[in-house]
Amino acid sequence: MNGSARLSAGLKALPDKIDSFASTQAAWRFYANEAITLSGLQQPLTDAAHAGIAQHCSRYALCIHDWSRLHYRHENKTDTYAITHATDVGYDLQTSLIVSDQTGQPIAPVAQRLVSAEGSYATYGATTLAPQVQTHLDEVSDCIEHLAAQGFAKPLVHLIDREGDSIGHIRRWESAGCRWLVRVNDNPKVEHAGQELACKDVANTLSFNKTRQITYRGKVHWQWIAETAVTLTRAAKPSQKKGYKPKEPGAPVAARLIVSRIVSDEGEVLAQWLLMSNLPEVDAATLALWYYWRWQIESFFKLLKQAGHQLESWQQESALAISKRLLVSSMACVTVWEIAAAKTQEAAELREFLMKLSGRQVKRSKPITHPALLAGLWVWLSMLEVMEAYTPEELAALKATAMQFLGKDV
């Protein structure tokens, strides 16, 4: 009798005595209100990031940047666009998520940008509709500059997947003095030991150290780590989307190449990641672990799109309204992350209680999940609202009516 959340695209209404349509109308007015700005909705998330960094981070705060496409087929959304091809229709979401450098615990999203056919809406920079940024890395570079001015208690280390392997943008980050950790591709060449070699060829010359056991595709294997100093000297290749642009030479960039391999007991290399960073004082094994925690932003997208909020079923009719609701949903995620990370006995009891209320089935090895905590918290808030809105006599009468339909005696 548990209805599928995907079929309930609108905001849920608390079970008080207010008509459900009134809640829908109130939500519409809230998201349509011009006084409700993205920067204003972002502020509680930024405050949570400041508090979380001070509490959960040791030397650095990890800032993970990534993009996710939001697919919509709704005819009432007139500002969607074909992101890559004719059937890839929707919006493009860029998010920057802070996680702990000690545990990988997600703390809070500190910046978001939603790109539509008409332009983009961001929680930073322009307060109104801005022109579309030409490339993802231009977006994230602007975001990095914004975050540098926020005065966080710990320095940020910016983590980006292979899309961040752009020497032109790396030079921009270097000139801005930011700390970065990027996964790089196999073939771009670097200078190493007086030779110009592809990154994968440099990796094959290194000696590896057995570091830690990790789970890879459901099985436990050993992770092996190697590192070396390299220099990036190649010219940048600007985006050619708006016409031909010549290569742009630039200053050499000194960096560390960290190679992470997952190796079976038989010696077979099951996976390999080539990482590059300008952090001189953090050991290679820690940098590899930090990159592993980059997966937290994928879990955040899953919580928004599939396992919690069903983002791609929302019925708001514009990118601006979607952006506002997205920030409100992000606040719910931050609340759940704080409950999951709390170390007190009271928090542990609350987690156990919320898991029971959620009705979710979980693995023995993973008794707590963020989607289940989110679902359980909603049930608990609904229960509290019911107890405040209805008298015991009214609840008893409703119970008697329900039991008649269930075919049981009261």
Place of tokens 């200053």: 251
Cα angle vertex 135, ends 134, 136, to 5°? 140
The domain ranges of the chain are: 178-236+248-293, 345-406
Q: Both ends of the chain: CA-CA distance in Å?
A: 20
Render 30-67 in DSSP notation, one character per residue.
Answer: HHH-TTS-HHHHHHHHHHHHHHHHHHH-SS-EEEEEEE
Burial 268-285 (b: 16+ CB within 10 A, else e): eeeeebbbbbbbeebebb
Q: Looking at residues 237-266, what average pLDDT do you find?
A: 86
For residue range 196-237, list pLDDT tens digits in order: 999 999 999 999 999 999 888 888 999 999 999 999 999 988
Q: Which of 24-33, 116-125, 148-157, 194-203 bottoms out in mean pLDDT, i.e. has the lowest?
A: 24-33
- Share the mean pLDDT of the chain: 89
Read off the pLDDT band of 15 (50, 70, 90): low
pLDDT value at residue 75: 82
What is the Cα–Cα distance from 272 to 304, expressed in whole angstroms? 29
What is the Cα–Cα distance from 185 to 255, expressed in whole angstroms? 15
Q: Which amino acid is at 146?
A: H
User: What does the block give as tokens for 105?
Assistant: 């615990």
User: What does the block give as tokens for 194?
Assistant: 């007086």
Burial 63-82 (b: 16+ CB within 10 A, else e): bbbbbbbbebebeebeebee
pLDDT value at residue 205: 94
pLDDT value at residue 17: 62
Q: Return the axis-axis angle of helices 319-341 and 345-358, rounded to nearest 10°.
A: 130
Q: Which amino acid is at 240?
A: Q
pLDDT value at residue 310: 87
Which among 118, 138, 149 is positioned nearest to 65, based on CA atoms?
138
CA 391 to chain CA centroid, nearest Å:
42
Read off the pLDDT band of 306 (50, 70, 90): confident
Neighbours of 369 (CB within 10 A): 19
pLDDT value at residue 131: 78
Q: Return the axis-axis angle of helices 319-341 and 38-56, rounded to nearest 10°.
A: 20
Q: Looking at residues 390-401, what average pLDDT do you find?
A: 92
Q: Looking at residues 330-347, what average pLDDT do you find?
A: 94
pLDDT value at residue 3: 43
* 374, burial (CB in 10 Å: exposed 0-12, middle 13-18, buried 19+): buried
For residue range 262-298, list pLDDT tens digits in order: 999 898 999 999 999 999 989 999 999 999 999 999 9
Q: Which residues pair with 130 in a beta bridge?
A: 120
pLDDT value at residue 127: 65
Read off the pLDDT band of 111 (50, 70, 90): very high
For residue range 41-99, list pLDDT tens digits in order: 999 999 999 999 999 999 999 999 999 999 988 888 888 888 888 888 999 999 999 99
pLDDT value at residue 244: 63
pLDDT value at residue 240: 63
pLDDT over 90 at 12, yes or no: no
pLDDT over 50 at 4, yes or no: no
